Structure 1
Amino acid sequence: MRVLVLAVGRMKKGAEAELADRYLKRALQAGRAIGIRSIDVVEIRESRAQDSARRMVEESIAISTLIPEGAIVVLMDEKGEGLTSAAFADRVARWRDGGQASLAFVIGGADGLADTLRERARLILNFGQATWPHQLVRILLLEQLYRAITILSGHPYHRD
């Protein structure tokens, strides 16, 4: 299964980028053993439109063009569903075991995501009801992907 993380905005160099890279590398290395063949992070340029609704639409269109045909789409949104790490791992395993070729996680910009993307989502996920900067959401998502992979492979990283 191919995993995509589609994120509006750039991760600036520094501690946050280093942490995101660390979890990405760990997830890539551990993921191969359980059928995760790639994890790609794609940054989408923030729209420069003056109107927030227009920015949201432009960013959502840019994201939509990058989602592979037939991919499972998971949106990251504070209004989404909260899952335990074990439940998250279970979802990933079910999609992988169901023969799903691609899984696309979407992190929107400051103005959110258009309803057309919400309608495509199989899951809308949150990491709590607080609003998080997109850089931190990316780090949290990459860590949870790594954690899910370790859960599925029986590695002791996750402890209940």
Structure 2
Amino acid sequence: MQLHVIARGKIGRTPEAELVDRYARRITWGMKITELPDRGGNVPPPPPGAVRTVALDERGRQLGSVEFARILERWRDEGVRETRFLIGAADGHDQGLRDGADLLIAFGAMTWPHMLARAMLVEQLWRATSIVAGHPYHREG
């Protein structure tokens, strides 16, 4: 299954970009990152076949890392070809996008800068794929 992060805003050469790169290089599943302008620009069309969409949203579920990993593992085992992770700009996502997502997730009740949220998401994708693979990176408890 390909993991596809679609994020609003250009990360450029920032410390957050270094974190994103560090964790993205570790992911052994297919990994792709697409940047869109803060406003406008179209989300790229999904590939043929089963696709799931996850939107990062302050009203989303707060999942533990193992629970998140098990969701991705289940989708992979069901034949999902791509899971898309949508990160909005400063104003978040519109209601239509939230309604169309298969899952809304939040990194807690606090508001996070969207560039930092990108780094946090890619680290959690690395952690989730490590959990699925039985790699010792994640320590429960």
TM-score (norm 2): 0.92
Report matched runs for 1:69-88 at 5 Å.
Answer: 70-88=50-68
The answer for the alignment partner of 1:50 in structure 2 is none
After superposition, what is the alpha-carbon deviation per residue over 1:99-150, rounded to whole angstroms, capped at 9, x for unaligned? 1111000001112212221122110001111111111111010000000111
2:90 to 110, 118, 121: 110
Report matched runs for 1:94-105 at 5 Å.
Answer: 94-105=74-85
Structure 1 runs not aligned, ≥5 long: 48-57
After superposition, what is the alpha-carbon deviation per residue over 1:13-70, rounded to whole angstroms, capped at 9, x for unaligned? 132111110000011xxx2xxxx2x1100000122xxxxxxxxxx36xx12x444454
Structure that is richer in helix per residue? 1
1:41 to 29, 33, 36: 33
What amino acid maps onto 1:96 in structure 2? R
CA distance in 1, matches of 2:130, 2:51: 23
What amino acid maps onto 2:37 in structure 1? R
CA distance in 1, matches of 2:16, 2:88: 18
RMSD value over aligned CA atoms? 1.3
The answer for the alignment partner of 2:100 in structure 1 is 120
CA distance in 2, matches of 1:14, 1:118: 28
1:2 Cα deviation from its structure 2 partner: 1.3
Structure 2 runs not aligned, ≥5 long: none
What amino acid maps onto 2:74 in structure 1? R
Q: Work out whether 1:13 is the aligned partner of 2:13.
A: yes
Quickly say closer, same or farther: Cα 1:68–1:130, change in 2 above 3 A.
farther
The answer for the alignment partner of 1:143 in structure 2 is 123
Larger Rg: 1
After superposition, what is the alpha-carbon deviation per residue over 1:50-105, rounded to whole angstroms, capped at 9, x for unaligned? xxxxxxxx36xx12x44445410000011110000000000000000001111000
